[in-house]
């Protein structure tokens, strides 16, 4: 009688990890969406709510790590089960960082809500954020379905976010060079844009973990990247 009971308990533990990760994913996705809505609408109340929700992801990551370590110690899992448990730890860490980035954007909203913001640049941020949020939503779906094919597709699209970020970076620099009064607002928007780009990177990290859990293989080392912001030099205004 003890063996079936042990197997059932083990399955329950694996399901708990999967369910808790899904909960974290929902919270992270909501935080990102709300922080971007707060940025576009200069909604400081919504921004404050995002900041307060970050504690939920911190707690979720701790719970998943502790549970995963306990399951490994007790059950000594192998093969796909071990990959799933290790993958849970990795994904929880990435989701916690996504929450931190959403919180960082929300903090910027509070700092700049009284400043004049270039409408064109805010629209550019909106487009960038839509892409990053789509990546995050799709990778959470890939995790739920253990789809290696979907995970690979998400990773291949990461360079699209990088390219838009680079273009936005260039535009923000131009605005600052043209009128020094734009410097404060544009600096905050630069940090927001970088945070959004990093959310896309963490979605790609999760995609790589999903692929590993599903196949037992690592993706190729060379990740598509098109972030050329480090090479941009602002031309002096004459």
pLDDT tens figures, 8-20: 888 899 999 999 9
Whether residue 184 is predicted with pLDDT greater than 90 in this model: the reply is no
Q: What contacts 190, CB < 8 A, 6 or more positions away?
A: 169, 172
Residue with more model confidence, 21 or 119:
21
- For 38-77, give one letter per residue: b (16+ CB within 10 A) or e: bbeebbeebbebbbebbebbeebbebbeebbeebeeebeb
pLDDT of residue 185: 85
Token reading at 146: 């253990």
pLDDT of residue 228: 61
The beta-strand segments (E) located in 94-204 are: none
Q: Tens of pLDDT along 45-84?
A: 999 999 999 999 999 999 999 999 999 999 888 888 999 9
According to CATH, the superfamily of the domain at 2-231 is: Phosphate transport system protein phou homolog 2; domain 2 (1.20.58.220)
Considering the entire predicted model, what is its pTM?
A: 0.87
Whether residue 188 is predicted with pLDDT greater than 50 in this model: the reply is yes
Q: Tens of pLDDT along 136-183?
A: 999 999 998 999 999 999 998 888 999 999 999 999 999 889 888 888
pLDDT of residue 6: 67
Of residues 226, 234, 117, 229, the one with CA closest to residue 168:
229
Whether residue 3 is predicted with pLDDT greater than 90 in this model: the reply is no
Q: Which whole number is the average pLDDT over 27-50?
A: 94
pLDDT of residue 229: 62
- Residue 1's alpha-carbon distances to 9, 10, 16, 220, in angstroms, are 13, 15, 23, 45
């Amino acid at each position: 009688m003890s063996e079936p009971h042990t197997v059932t308990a083990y399955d329950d533990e694996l399901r708990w990890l999967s369910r808790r990760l899904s909960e974290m994913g929902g919270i992270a996705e909501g935080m990102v969406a709300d922080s971007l809505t707060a940025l576009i609408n200069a909604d400081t109340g919504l921004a404050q709510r995002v900041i307060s929700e970050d504690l939920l992801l911190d707690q979720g990551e701790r719970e998943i790590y502790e549970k995963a370590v306990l399951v490994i110690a007790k059950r000594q899992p192998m093969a796909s089960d071990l990959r799933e448990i290790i993958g849970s730890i990795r994904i929880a860490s990435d989701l916690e960082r996504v929450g931190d980035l959403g919180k960082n954007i929300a903090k910027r909203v509070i700092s700049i809500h009284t400043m004049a913001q270039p409408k064109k640049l805010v629209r550019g941020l909106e487009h960038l954020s839509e892409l990053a949020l789509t990546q995050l939503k799709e990778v959470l779906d890939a995790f739920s379905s253990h789809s290696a094919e979907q995970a690979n597709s998400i990773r291949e699209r990461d360079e699209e976010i990088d390219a838009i970020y680079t273009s936005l970076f260039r535009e923000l620099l131009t605005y600052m060079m043209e009128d020094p009064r734009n410097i404060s607002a544009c600096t905050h928007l630069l940090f927001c844009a970088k945070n959004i780009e990093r959310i896309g990177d963490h979605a790609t990290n999760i995609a790589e973990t999903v692929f590993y859990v599903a196949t037992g293989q690592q993706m190729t080392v060379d990740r598509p990247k098109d972030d050329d912001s480090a090479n941009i030099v602002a031309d002096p205004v004459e």
